[in-house]
Amino acid sequence: MLGLMGIFCFVFFHGNDFYHYHPVLVTNLNPRGQMTDLLYTEKDLVTSLKDYIRAEESKLEQVKTWAQKLDVLSATATQDPEGFLGHPVNAFKLMKRLNTEWGELESLVLKDMSDGFISNLTIQRQHFPNDDDQTGAAKALMRLQDTYRLDTQTISTGELPGTNTDVTMSPMTVEDCFELGKIAYSDADYYHTELWMEQALKQLDGGEESTVDMVTILDYLSYSIYQQGELERALDYTKRLLKLDSAHQRANGNLKYFEYQLAKQKKVEAEEGLKEKEEREREKREVSEKKGRPADYLPERRKYEQLCRGEGIKMTPRRQSRMFCRYSDNNRHPLYVLGPVKQEDEWDRPRIIRYHDILSNSEIEKVKELAKPRLRRATVHDPQTGKLTTAHYRVSKSAWLTAYEDPVVDKINQRIEDITGLNVKTAEELQVANYGVGGQYEPHFDFGPFVFTLSSLLQMSDVPSGGATVFTDVGAAVWPKKGSAVFWYNLFASGEGDYSTRHAACPVLVGNKWVSNKWIHERGQEFRRRCTLDESD
C-alpha cells in the first residue's frame, strides 16, 4: 500500500441577389399599337426573366461556393474529429457557423422553393448549437487568452502552442473577431471588447474584406476604451470614426463630451501639487495592473494561472533530489511480484504518485465508448440548496460508470484496489470526464468530513497544450500522460482534511482531455489505513 494518509484521489488522464420586376402595361389595343406594345412588353418580360436567371445563378453560385468550402473542411475535420475540435478556434468557428452562418444560408435558399433542403435543415436544426453555446465558445477562447497570456493575433491566426500542423485551421475573420468583441461588450467586459475590436480593426486595415464596417468597430472600440478610463485614446478613435462618417450622431456627442472631460482632467492635473501627482500616478498604476481582471479576481487565481502556464512551480533542487522513479511490487502484492508497476514521485508534500501504463489503449477506448452517450455538463454541490448544479468554475462533461456494466470497468476498479491497497467497495463509481476547448475546474478540495480518503486520477489522453492538474497551495503541477494514474490522499490518518491538496484542472488549450476519477471513501478502510492522531504519518 502507498505510504500516504488521508483521502486518496486517483485520476486517469485519459451575396446579395438582384431581381427586377417589370409591370405589364395594358392599353386599349389597335392592330399596330397592340402588336408594338406586346413586343415591348415581351422585351421587358425577357429582360425580367434574364434578371431572374442572373439572380438565381448568383444565389446558386453562393450556395455552391459555400458547399464546396464546407465539403473540404468537413472532410478534413472528420478524419480526426477530436484533433480538429481540440483547436479552440476550430471549435468557436464551428459554433458560429452552425448558429449564425447556416441560418443566413437558410434565408438565402428560402428565397426560392427548395423543399428538400429546407425540410432537412429544419429537422437537423434542432441539434444545432444555440446563442448560449456560441457565447460559451467565445468565452472559452477569452478564458484561454487570459490563462495562457495569448495575444489576439496568435489566437486569430491559430498559431497556438502545441498546435498540430497537420490539423487544418482557417484563420479568424474580421467578423469572428467582431463577434468576440460584441459578446464581451454584452457582459460589460470592456477589456476584452477593446482587444478583439482592435484585432478586427487591424485585419480591416490590413486589407481583409468584411461585411462589418469600420465605423461600427470604431464605435465599440472608442466606448470600451473610455469605460476603462483612457480618455485620450477614446478621443483619438472617435476622431477617426468621424473622418469616415462626419454625421455620426453618437460619435459627435462623444467627441464633445470626451474633449470636455479631458480639458477638465488636465486643469485638475495642472493645479495639483507633487503629493497629489504621485497619488494619481499610483492610482493609474493600480488601475493598469488590474486591467482585464474580473470583479471576483482572487490572489489564488493568479497562482492557478501561473501554474497552468508552467510558472511558479515550487520544487527546490534539494527536494527534487529525493524524488524517484522505481518499479514497485506494492508490498509484494501477488499480482505485481513478477510484473511490477512503474511508479514515479510527482510531489513530496502532499505526496502525489503517478503509476505509468496502468490503462491500455483498448481499455481507454472502451471506457470512452461507454461514457460518450451519457456525457452531461458536470455539476457541483450547492451548499445553500443542497442540490447539484452547474457552475462557471467547472466546465466539463462527465458520466458515471458502474462495475457491473462492463468487465473493463470492473477490472479498472480492481486494479485501483490492488495498487492502493484500499477497499473500493465503498468508493464512488468511476466518473469519466471530458474537458473540451477551455474546459476547466477551478481550485477546490475533494474531501468532506471523513469522506474521500483518496483521489485517483486516471489519464486517458495526452494533451498537446494545457490541461494540467495544479495544486495551488503548494505550487505543484501534474501534466496529462495517457494511460497513467495519479494518486494522492485528501485526508490525514486522523480523518482531518489535508488543505495542501487544494487543486484545479487547468483549461485545455489545444487538444481533448479525457480522465476518469475514482474517489475512495474513508469508510471501509478501518483495517487497511488505521486511524492515528499523528498528522505527520
Whole-number pLDDT of residue 145: 95
Residue-wise pLDDT tens digits, 356-396: 999 999 999 999 999 988 888 655 555 566 555 554 544 56
pLDDT exceeds 50 at position 6: no
Whole-number pLDDT of residue 153: 96
Whole-number pLDDT of residue 438: 78
Q: How far apart are CA 325 and CA 484, in angstroms?
A: 14
Residue-wise pLDDT tens digits, 301-329: 899 999 999 998 888 889 999 999 999 98
Run of H or E including 398:
strand 397-401
Q: How confident is the model at residue 119 (pLDDT cuts 50, 70, 90)?
A: low
Whole-number pLDDT of residue 7: 41
Residue 485: all three cell numbers together: 494514474
The phi and psi torsions of 485 (rounded to 5 degrees) equal -135, 135
Q: What is the mean pLDDT of residues 218-223?
A: 97
**Highest mean predicted confidence (pLDDT) among 314-328, 347-361, 487-501:** 347-361
From residue 520, give the alpha-carbon distance in Å to each of 11, 14, 151, 408.
Answer: 11, 19, 42, 19
pLDDT exceeds 80 at position 199: yes
Q: What is the mean pLDDT of residues 88-99?
A: 89
Percentage of the residues of the chain whose pLDDT score is greater than 70: 78
More confident residue, 338 or 453: 338
**Among 71-75, 379-383, 509-513, where is mean pLDDT lowest?**
379-383
SS3 content of the chain, % helix, strand, coil (to 5): 45, 15, 35
Query: Average model confidence (pLDDT) for the chain?
Result: 82
